Structure 1
Amino acid sequence: MKLKLTLTLVISLLAATGAFAARVDTLHVESLAMKKTIPNVVILPDSYETASENLPVVFLLHGATGNYRDWVTKVPAIKTYADQYDMIIVCPDGGFTSWYFDSPVDETMQYETYVSRELVQAIDQKYRTIELPGGRAITGLSMGGHGAFYLAFRHQDVWGAAGSMSGGVDIRPFPNNWDLSKRLGTYAENKANWEENTVINLVHLLDGRNLKLIFDCGVDDFFYDDNRRMHEKLLERNIPHEYTERPGAHNWEYWTNAVKYHLLFFYDFFESSN
């Protein structure tokens, strides 16, 4: 009886200290497109070492002026969600203000190539993943919300589901913000770059079958009108999606709440796909 009680106590202490919790790696990936090495957080669920099957992956993108550590430090609960849903979560470093596209005016900013090709390949080589769109999803906040939809719309052979939290889904109303003119050139002189790289203009790439979508925005967010227009455009084209408006602004309090729904959505998607 004493041994049993001692063992129970040890297990309880290990659980309390996180010994059975998700593992957090920092994976450095060489980008040939940008000729530099980029750090990424990789969260492995506690089941990873013993899992008999490969696991799905969610790519979780940070916002402008952020970095790859933002999600795991500001929303540490994502480690619990990785355990709960048996999924790998990857948080790339997307640069200070990359907007996750391949800049047509700055060859040092090629983050579409990095995330959609170089990083995906590195994750699949390093970890036991499901190497199919049915085993990959992508979402993010603000700039990362734009990035997640942008990358998924353009690479439906890579991701099977995508989300956006408070995403800048239409960048055209903000020609002087967040270094966008450094990535695309000024709007006045490079209108085509802006029109071709804003998410709301990429809806024509969707057929309503191959990509599952979820997005949301707080009603006090400066991107609220853009997200509402995105929702209406998807309705006009009969593209299935989940869209939510809720109280909230452009801040971590909102995203801490929003990410829970995205990960549950992706869990359901993975379950139905695999």
Structure 2
Amino acid sequence: MALLHVDFFSGVLGMSMQMDVILPQQTNGQIGMEEKGVQGKIPTLYLLHGMSDDHTIWQRRTSIERYVSDLGIAVVMPTTHLGWYTDMAWGNRYWTFISKELPEICRSFFANLSDRREDTYAAGLSMGGYGALKLGLSASETFGMAASLSGAMDVREIGKSLDDEDGKHYWQSIFGPADMVVNSSNDLFAEAVRLKESGKPLPKLYMWCGTEDFLYEQNVDMKEHLTKLGYDLTYEESPGDHQWKYWDEKIQSVLDWIMKNRNSGL
């Protein structure tokens, strides 16, 4: 594998940004690694971080480079700060950045990345799980598969539950007043309905959450919602709370799910 640390400028955000990128490489003789190159265009996984983290976290907390070494896919790990993958009510346009500008930038930097939705995937944890599912539901023309680990599925309820003024101000800077979130483009429950009714291609979806996680009930509610709407959803749960020892394990399940569905077509 090749690991690249990329500093670049975002016109949408008007500032310099960072991403780490793993690219497949055909090698011989690397100790303890099986690696393969790719014939043709390379499928790409956009792997998103949670609230307290940045573009380095998946490499620091998991063995993601080793996990993808023999899969023939690229992994793009961008930093997105605390913008919740939204065009903030008062702030930067992180949704436009992550859903449109970033894939275009990556494909211009790395011309061998595929631009087909069948080859473009999103995954993330916690805040990044919300972002990944949002990419699947709100940018399905670009992302053919999306996976959430311990995702924050219901930003409507999170906003209502905040009881300190600093938390409320931060939340409203992203989503606006709590009563404006319902049925907005940031409401994943509403976005799932709108996409289903639109006639646009539906993504394949994967969700996992630990049964002791504080976001567990939100994940169960989303599972039931997506199932009723007829989405192709793979849902898993198991004992666990909100920590990396579970995400390190379950990102491997996500990769297995991606490869299975990639080989069966979308």
TM bracket (short chain):
0.7 to 0.9
Distance in 1 between residues matched to 2:175 and 2:201, nearest whole Å: 31
Task: Specify the alignment match of 2:187 in structure 1.
Answer: 198
CA shift, 1:198, in A, is: 2.3
What pairs up with 1:1-274 in 2 under 5 angstroms?
A: 22-47=1-26, 50-75=37-62, 77-95=63-81, 97-106=82-91, 109-127=92-110, 128-175=112-159, 176=162, 177=167, 179-187=170-178, 191-196=179-184, 197-207=186-196, 210-273=202-265
Q: 1:22-75 CA deviation, whole Å, 9 max, x = no partner? A: 221012232111100110010112339953311100000000021000001111
TM-aligned CA deviation for residue 237 of structure 1: 1.5
The amino acid across from 2:13 in the alignment is M
Q: Which runs of 5 or more structure 2 residues have no equivalent in the other structure? A: 27-34
Shift of 1:200: 2.2
State the SS of the aligned residue for 2:105. helix
TM-score between both structures, scaled by the size of structure 1: 0.84
Rounded to whole Å, the distance in 2 between the matches of 1:263 and 1:80 is 12
Per-residue deviation, 1:125: 1.3
| Bigger Cα displacement from structure 2, 134-143 vs 198-207 | 198-207
Instruction: Name the CA distance, whole Å, in 2 between partners of 1:151 and 1:216.
Output: 17
Runs of 5+ consecutive residues of structure 1 not aligned to the other structure: 1-21
Counterparts of 1:219 and 1:34 in 2: how far apart (Å)?
37
| 1:83 partner SS | coil
Q: TM-score, normalised to structure 2's length? A: 0.87
Q: For residue 84 of structure 1, give the secondary structure of its aligned residue in structure 2.
A: coil
Distance 1:248 1:98 in 2: 27
Looking at structure 2, the residues matched to 254 and 26 of structure 1 have their Cα atoms a distance apart, in angstroms, of 26
CA distance in 2: counterparts of 1:228 and 1:43, whole angstroms: 33
Percentage of pairs with the same residue:
26
Shift of 1:90: 0.6
Q: Distance in 2 between matches of 1:240 and 1:152?
A: 12
Question: Which 10-residue stretch deviates more, 146-155 or 201-210?
Answer: 201-210
Equivalent pairs counted in the alignment come to 246
1:62-112: CA deviation from partner (whole Å, max 9, x where unpaired) = 00021000001111x2101221211100111011x2110111222xx2111
Q: Which portions of structure 1, spanning 4 or more consecutive aligned residues, are displaced by more than 6 angstroms?
A: none
Contact kept, 8 Å, 2:150 with 2:242, in 1: the verdict is yes
